[in-house]
A and B are shown apart, each in its own frame.
Chain A
Amino acid sequence: MPRRSLHNVIAAEQVGPYTLLRVERGPMEPGIPGQFFMLAAPGRILPRPMSLCLAQRGELGFLFEPIGRGTRALAALEAGDELCILGPLGNGFRLEVERPLLVGGGIGIAPFPYLSEALRYPPAILGFRTARHAEAGALVPNAEVVVEPTRVTEVLEPGYDVLACGPEPMLEAVKALAPDAQLACEAPMACGYGACYGCVVEVCGEYKRLCMEGPVLAAA
Chain B
Amino acid sequence: MLLLNASGCLDALAAPELARSLDGFVSKTVTPEARGGNEPVRIAETGHGMLNSIGLQNPGRNRFIAEVLPQLRELGLPLWISVGGFAAHEYAETCAQLADVTIELNLSCPNVDEAPESAAEIVAACRAATPLRLFAKLSPALPDIAEVARAVDAAGGDGLSLVNTIRGLELDERTLRPRLARAVGGYSGPALKPIALAAVYACFRATDLPIIGMGGIWNGRDALEFIAAGASAVALGTVLFADPDAPDRIRREVDETAGLLGLEDPLQARGVAHEPRPAAMAPNLTTTKVPAFLAN
List the interface of chain A (C-beta within 8 A of B).
Answer: 1, 3-4, 40, 44-47, 69-70, 86, 187-191, 193-201, 206-207, 212
Stretch of B38-46, B61-69, B72-80, B266-274 lying at the A interface: B38-46
Stretch of B11-19, B157-165, B193-201 lying at the A interface: B11-19
Q: How far in angstroms is the closest Cβ of chain B from A162?
A: 25
Point out the residues of chain B lying under 8 angstroms from A4, CB to CB: 243-245
Q: Contact at B245–A194, with CB atoms within 8 Å?
A: no
Q: Contact at B44–A195, with CB atoms within 8 Å?
A: no
Q: Given contacts A1-B15, A45-B50, A45-B190, are A70 and B240 in contact (CB under 8 A)?
A: no
Within the assembled complex, what's the spacing in Å between the Cα atoms of A45 and B191?
10
Interface residues of B in 96-134 (CB under 8 A from A): none
B238 interfacial by beta-carbon distance below 8 Å: yes
Q: Which of B41, B54, B244 contacts A193 (CB 8 A)?
A: B244
Point out the residues of chain B lying under 8 angstroms from A45, CB to CB: 45-46, 48-50, 189-190, 238, 242
Q: How far in angstroms is the closest Cβ of chain B from A199?
A: 8
Interface secondary structure of B, over-half rule = loop
Number of residues of chain B lying within 8 A (CB) of chain A: 33
Within the assembled complex, what's the spacing in Å between the Cα atoms of A187 and B49?
19
Q: Contact at A1–B17, with CB atoms within 8 Å?
A: yes
Q: Given contacts A45-B49, A86-B244, A207-B40, are A195 and B15 in contact (CB under 8 A)?
A: yes
List the interface of chain B (C-beta within 8 A of A).
Answer: 8-11, 14-15, 17-18, 28, 36-37, 40-46, 48-50, 52, 54, 57, 189-190, 238, 240-245
Question: Most chain-A Cβ atoms within 10 A of its Cβ — which of B42, B44, B190, B238?
Answer: B42
Q: Which of B15, B46, B49, B57 contacts A194 (CB 8 A)?
A: B15
A/B interface sample: 10 pairs, CB < 8 A: A45-B48, A45-B238, A46-B241, A188-B40, A196-B52, A196-B54, A197-B54, A197-B57, A200-B37, A201-B40
Q: Given contacts A44-B45, A188-B44, A194-B14, are A3 and B245 in contact (CB under 8 A)?
A: yes
